[in-house]
Structures are given as structure tokens and as C-alpha cells.
Amino acid sequence: NLKIGDQVDPRRGFIFDESIESANLKTCLSYVGIPIRIIWNFGTENTRILASFGLAPQILLDQRTLARTHYTNEDKETQEIENLEEAAAFNLSPSLGIGAEFKLSEKFFLRAEGIARFGVVNVNEDSPINSYIYSSELNAGIYYNLIQKSQSNL
């Protein structure tokens, strides 16, 4: 049985489905990592500017490839297919961040911080196309300080 993409005969070419308008492949990689960061604080007691630098070693948990097909009659089809290439099992992501922290009370602080991460390992090892993972995030929350500051009367 012949299907789309099969070559009928080297002299006649390939079989194409005329109803396909476009098709794309999307590879989804799921890595888990542990971020290790150094954070610098600048500013007054009530308002501080934060700057951070860090590294996150990451391990590949899952890899999936999705094929999305759009037909001329407006139909769409999405299906998971076999992975075409193996991704790197390990990645290392340096990160840079900047943010602000506001003192709400003696123990509570409001913090907002933007962080950018970029991978240094080519995750498509078997491909002629280099692929590096990058991401950006915005962290915001209220923090509770567990450590009591000691007062000195010098």
C-alpha cells in the first residue's frame, strides 16, 4: 500500500496529497533542572534592587514530536509521531536576573524579578541545525524572612 510521501518509482517522483495546504513539525522537550544562583541586593532597608547570576544543570525528562497538518478544506489534524532526532540528555543553562524587593513589615517582603535563561548545549546532537533552549520568566511573590536580624548597640 502506498501512502503520502512514498516514492512510486525513481523516474516518476513522490506521491503528494493535493488537499494538504501546509504541514509543520513541533518538537517539545521537557527538562528538569536545579537552579543555583547568587543574588546581590542594593538599596535602602525598605526598597532594594536585586541582581542575580546562576547556573542550572538540566536533565531531559520527555521528548515529543507533533505533526500538524492544515488541509485546503479548513480541516486540521494533529498527531504525535516518532521523534526524528534524539535530544541531548543533559543541558546547562546560565541565567541572569534583575528585580526589586519592597519591605512590607519586619518579616514580610514583596519581590518581583525577571530572569532570562539560555542553554549552552546544542540539544539536537544528530542534526545539522544547532538548537539551544532559552526562556524568560517573571517571578513575583511575598517572602517571609525566617532569620531574625541581630541588633548591636556599638
Residue spans of the chain under pLDDT 70? 1-18, 84, 149-154
Alpha-carbon gap, residue 34 to 105, rounded angstroms: 30
pLDDT digit string, tens, across residues 102-142:
999 989 999 999 999 999 999 887 778 888 999 999 999 99
Return the C-alpha cell found at 20: 494538504
**In the chain, which ranges are E strands?**
7-9, 13-14, 20-33, 36-43, 47-71, 76-81, 90-103, 108-118, 134-144
Q: Is the dihedral of CA 115, 116, 122, 123 positive or negative?
A: positive
Q: What is the pTM of this model?
A: 0.67
Cβ atoms 37, 47 nearer than 8 A: no
Residue 91, classified by CB atoms within 10 Å of its CB into exposed (0-12), middle (13-18) or buried (19+), is buried
